[in-house]
Structure 1
């Protein structure tokens, strides 16, 4: 929704993009302890995951909304399409591949943000989460348990990416080159 607003107004883009970029370039490990002061550990994990995943989705979607084929745009103008029709039938379908690419990137980054927040929560996280298991196993020198937790995190990341790639394929199959290339 924010990408739609940014794509509609250069003024909004100039006003909001610096905040989004600031959130992206500020290390999440520096933000997580501050969030833990104001939020419950579970909520802080969710906010960290959101903050890390937000910018790739926003930037890719904004790029997709701005990258409409000029020929198609002229065709819609020729047929006097309303702004609403241009949005629904031209800009959103044009932006869908970039949005889905941002979602795939953001999904993996959200997992990283959640792990970082769990690490920052430490003991205040009430001993839950895979990051806590890694830290706890490290203190106890339980190397097999550390690797097991790390393997579960890696499998979670692969599952997230695989699910989002499958969603992308289903939504783009039959009309976009990226999905057609997978069929061949």
Structure 2
């Protein structure tokens, strides 16, 4: 087949990357369904993909509404993580004393299990949505902070010397050298934080246990578990997993579009 051939508008080389995970998912789901039917497992013990799909179709409006609530907290937490993470990274890269003073505090906040401090945050903060946002932000912001700081501090010294030789100001060096150099590091941290913000939102919802029309998917999982509606619980879990995959793919696309014209990690994929 001639070079540059396309199928349904996609390059021929792209199809294995699409078909391989689809084939694996089909095999896993098919094996799961066959095993459940062969062993005669009741749905309240382990539902098969068919039962989960039926529960998802039956409760899709309710689950979709709950997913929208969770994704709103996730998106807001990710925006807050980007804002604070990049801002603190710029502060740390400009002052070694500031980095030595505040980075250990950020590390302590990161390594503390969110399930341990989420109840305290929910008690201290009157607004439940604000408490959920803070919990998700705590989980999400450190990868952006650490990766961006590493990128800013890892700027090629020869290039920095060249900028100084030509009389570039500190702002010009930051804007034209250090920030572009740190961009791949930041985008790598962004892909990690996207999934972590979803995890933080779900964990915070579990701890809060807030019900009602404004509840997220975590509450729907708890609700289904209390009522022994296990297929519905798995359907909610499937939506969370699917949302996480979509977030990762979307942020990977953003990373590729931002780097494809100049950075080796993306240029190599283009060719």
For residues 93-123 of structure 1, give each alpha carbon's deviation from its aligned partner in whole angstroms, at most 9, with x where no partner exists.
000110111111011011110000000011x
SS at match of 2:143: helix
SS at match of 2:261: coil
**TM-score computed with the length of structure 1 as normaliser:** 0.96
Comparing 128-137 with 69-78, greater Cα deviation is found at 69-78
The structural deviation recorded for 1:125 is 4.3
Structure 1 counterpart of 2:256: 169
Matching of residue 5 in structure 1 with residue 91 in structure 2: yes
Measured in 2, the distance between the counterparts of 1:108 and 1:78 equals 42
**TM-score computed with the length of structure 2 as normaliser:** 0.66
Greater per-residue helix proportion: 1
The structural deviation recorded for 1:14 is 1.0
* 4+ long deviations beyond 3 Å: 124-127
Structure 1 counterpart of 2:217: 130
Matches within 5 A, 1:1-184: 1-39=87-125, 40-122=127-209, 124-126=210-212, 128-184=215-271
Q: How many residues align?
A: 183
Contact in 2 for aligned 1:42/1:125 (Cα 8 Å): no
CA RMSD of aligned residues (A): 1.1
Contact in 2 for aligned 1:137/1:146 (Cα 8 Å): yes
Contact in 2 for aligned 1:41/1:125 (Cα 8 Å): no
Structure 1 counterpart of 2:26: none
SS at match of 1:44: helix
List alignment gaps of at least 5 residues for structure 2.
1-86
List alignment gaps of at least 5 residues for structure 1.
none
For residues 26-58 of structure 1, give each alpha carbon's deviation from its aligned partner in whole angstroms, at most 9, with x where no partner exists.
100011111111222211111111110111100
Measured in 1, the distance between the counterparts of 2:242 and 2:265 equals 25
